[in-house]
Amino acid sequence: MVTYNTIVVEKEGHTAIITINRASKLNALNAETLSDLSDALDGLAGEDNVRGIVITGAGDKAFIAGADIQEFVGMDGSQAVQLAAKGQEKVMNKIADYSKPIVAAINGFALGGGLELALAAHIRIASPRAKLGLPEVSLGLIPGYGGTQRLPQLVGKGRALEMIMTGDMIGAEEALNYGLVNYVAEESELLKKCFTLLERTYLRSPKAIAKVIKAVNTGLAEPQIGFQQEIALFGASFDTDEAKEGIQAFLEKRKPNF
């Protein structure tokens, strides 16, 4: 276990569990939490034994109930631009572009920046009591950590605009129907469901999975070059030791050693 000021990192097999550890503040994201998250992700990126990551929140109420609004007091526009840019670059984009699968285990409120962090994850699994929303317009603000971009990609323009313009929360089942979460799992089974899903990916080529993440993200961000990126990464995969092992294992009718 590695303990930062605001998060805890544990490992179970090939999976690292990052827990936002500010239960008394409903795990709200402040500057220190974002910094700790960024540092933890950087550290885990270099650990070959870690094949996937689960991000969740401490306590029984919240995944992450938004940003720490206290930090907004007295902030002007230029400072807000810097805050959003840093949060996107150092945490949200880092999660979205991470070369290892990241699953958000949404165990309660996922609001504002908390939902934006979940949106950046590759897969989202929610407990039945999860509540998800982007309530920034209630403060006279808009989402600043990627919510206006990633939510429409998952649920479509109409659903996204409804959620963002009303600021209303939706429940886990509604989120599942929207395509916002992949699964709903009982609270007692939530982490187990995350581990089981990640362990399925551990049977596959890590290098191929990293290329899949890059290809999908390129197609979403720059649709005009998505197909060309896929072709290039498809070719590059043939030059990896894992592709050679996978092809040989298939021909020999055995499981590949990834």
Give the active site residues. 116, 136
What residue type is assigned to position 196 of the chain?
T
Element (H, E) at 131: strand 131-133
Element (H, E) at 151: helix 147-155
Taking the C-alpha atoms of residue 41 and residue 228, their distance in angstroms, rounded to an integer, is 29
Taking the C-alpha atoms of residue 219 and residue 198, their distance in angstroms, rounded to an integer, is 23
Taking the C-alpha atoms of residue 20 and residue 56, their distance in angstroms, rounded to an integer, is 6
Taking the C-alpha atoms of residue 136 and residue 141, their distance in angstroms, rounded to an integer, is 5
How far from 30 is each of 5, 22, 36, 156, CA to CA, in Å?
12, 10, 10, 29
How far from 92 is each of 105, 152, 192, 226, CA to CA, in Å?
16, 16, 24, 21
Give Cβ neighbours of residue 60 (< 8 Å, ≥ 6 apart).
107, 108, 187
